[in-house]
Amino acid sequence: MTRRLHAFFFAAIGAAIAVLVVAIAPAPVRAQSADLVLCDRLAADPSDPDRPADVKGTPDVAPADIATAIRYCKSASRSSRRAIYQLGRAYLASGQVADAVAAWRKAIDKGSTSAMVELGVLYATGSGVAKDEAQARALFERAAQAGNPRGVINLAALSGGVASDPARARELLAKAAETNAEAQYQLGLMLADGTGGPRDDAGARALFEKAAAQNHPGALERMGAFTQEGRGGAKDSSAAKAYYERAAALGDEGAKKALKRIECPYVLTDKRGNVVTNLCF
């Protein structure tokens, strides 16, 4: 009897260890993660709210990367909503509009607001699908309600611009601005101009500062201007220059011009008032 109990005990232990090994085996997870990493590297959208902070993203899928992006995004799409959306981006870059639409519909079913925006753009412009402004508006509205800033902006544009309903645009942007740098920037512009509600320089500056901390070029430029003028907070010329330099490094033309004005503040004009040259120091 004792031997039988010992045999049963060791058999049970062996079975438990086998189950534990299977449960913690990392190989399948690593394979999926590797596919998603490569999909992100080649096809992530910088404006996608689903994009992790450590993923840079690319404005467009490079022609040389399309086939690879499709391969890895298709594999990763089995377990990732973001990958399904990015697969649609890769298909669109390759000219496979029908496949892009199919991928975005799947991503929308799983709640991807970026897929809502992109499919809405196709319907709004009639690119590869029959033009349908009602469908576009419905998709932009869904994305905007979920806090996607591009959904807000595109919805406003389809409705004749922010001016048609600035208070509504401001309301929708406020929700998106809780987490998104582009929404923070866009809402900051509205607060700075008093569009859709009271002008609020301090509130605008706070929003620009949040977006600037995420390296948003436009927000960095606005922080430079607000800091240089002392608008909505303390005035600090050296800090303003630093903001302009960061924005200029990211390609912002307004920041480049502001730096030029700082470096060359004296302007020589002719008798008609036309600028002849700037004097630098």
- pLDDT tens column, 203-215: 999 999 999 999 9
- pLDDT at 175 exceeding the cut of 90: no
CB 84 within 8 A of CB 102: no
Q: What predicted TM-score, i.e. pTM, was given to this entire model?
A: 0.62
Q: Which two tokens stand for residue 272?
A: 């008609």
CATH topology of domain 28-48+56-111: 1.25.40
- pLDDT at 116 exceeding the cut of 90: yes
Q: Please, which pLDDT band fits residue 279 given cuts at 50, 70 and 90?
A: low
CA distance 182 to 205: 14
Residue that the structure tokens 């929700």 belong to = 175
CA distance 261 to 112: 43
What per-residue confidence (pLDDT) applies to 21? Answer: 35
- pLDDT tens column, 37-46: 999 999 999 9
- pLDDT at 159 exceeding the cut of 80: no
CA distance 265 to 244: 15
Q: Please, which pLDDT band fits residue 180 given cuts at 50, 70 and 90?
A: confident
H or E element in which residue 18 lies: helix 2-24
Q: Please, which pLDDT band fits residue 222 given cuts at 50, 70 and 90?
A: very high
3-state SS, one letter per residue, for 121-148: HHHHHCCCCCCCHHHHHHHHHHHHHCCC
Q: Which residue has better confidence, 181 or 15?
A: 181
When mean pLDDT is compared across 145-154, 172-181, 240-249, 270-279, the lowest value belongs to: 270-279
| CATH 1.25.40.10 residue spans of the chain | 177-281
CB 195 within 8 A of CB 188: no
What per-residue confidence (pLDDT) applies to 137? Answer: 93
Count of CB atoms within 10 A of residue 162's CB? 22
- pLDDT tens column, 54-113: 898 999 999 999 999 999 999 999 999 999 999 999 999 999 999 999 999 999 999 999
- Cα maximum dimension of the chain: 115
- pLDDT at 12 exceeding the cut of 60: no
What per-residue confidence (pLDDT) applies to 259? Answer: 93
CATH superfamily label, 177-281? Tetratricopeptide repeat domain (1.25.40.10)
